[in-house]
Structure 1
Amino acid sequence: MAGGGSGTNDARIKTGYHIGEWGNPYEGGGQPGKGITTYALSPNRQNPFAGFLSKGLFNTARRSRNQFLYVVPPFVAAYFAMEWANSRSEYLNSKAGRAEFADEE
């Protein structure tokens, strides 16, 4: 079929080699296109914890210190709001609170 119909695989053949499913040049043993550079490093040569103690901990501390004023004040405000709400709820459900607001229903 012309135009890449589902009857044949002719639409996927280009200049003598298979370009892969949906144009993926790496699938099916095809060659990558011109001008595409790929790099690879063997998993045996990688060191995922390189510089962790010398750079990672200090970088984490620096970034946390820089975000301190963005994170801590909302949590402090939420804590005090919850403390106030809990104490108010306890008062309103106590004997004195019920006696004070008994006539408002």
Structure 2
Amino acid sequence: MRVTQILRSAGGDKKPGSYMGPWGALGSLPQKGITSYALAPNRQNPMAGAMNAAVFNTFRRTRHQILYWGLPLLIGYETMQWAIERNEFLNSKEGRAMYEGQD
């Protein structure tokens, strides 16, 4: 069967702008009561409320996750401070004198 015969057998006169039906159902009855609304792309504001949402969303996420990263961060900071102080003590005159003969 040729393509033109398939299109002609779909039924009825098709006018530009008439609903042809979903994919695979060419020639169905026109739909009634369907209303669609759209806003032109040049009338949209894509960054509307972005800064406000970013501030409050960041605060909310941080508040919910603080125990997961805050506690390890605090432990790591305190460990690093202890290591720096210990290193400075061991490399001072007093530290060298205390551990003089030990290796």
Shorter-chain TM range is 0.5 to 0.7
Q: How far apart, in 2, do the equivalents of 1:91 and 1:65 lie?
A: 38
The Cα offsets for residues 48-86 of structure 1, whole Å up to 9 and x where unpaired, read as 312324533222211111111111111111110011001
1:69 is aligned to: 67
**Alignment identity in percent?**
49
Q: Where in structure 1 do 4 or more consecutive aligned residues deviate above 4 Å?
A: none
In structure 1, runs of 5+ residues without a counterpart are: 1-33, 36-40
- Report the secondary structure of 1:48's partner residue: coil
- Report the secondary structure of 2:85's partner residue: helix
Provide the aligned C-alpha RMSD in A.
2.6
- Report the secondary structure of 1:50's partner residue: coil
Letter in 1 for 2:84: N
The number of residue pairs the alignment matches comes to: 67
Q: How far apart, in 2, do the equivalents of 1:43 and 1:68 lie?
A: 39
In structure 2, runs of 5+ residues without a counterpart are: 1-22, 25-38
* Pair 95,63 (structure 1): closer, same or farther in 2 beyond 3 Å: same
How far apart are residue 44 of structure 1 and its match? 3.5
How far apart are residue 42 of structure 1 and its match? 7.6
* Pair 62,94 (structure 1): closer, same or farther in 2 beyond 3 Å: same
TM-score normalised by length of structure 2: 0.53
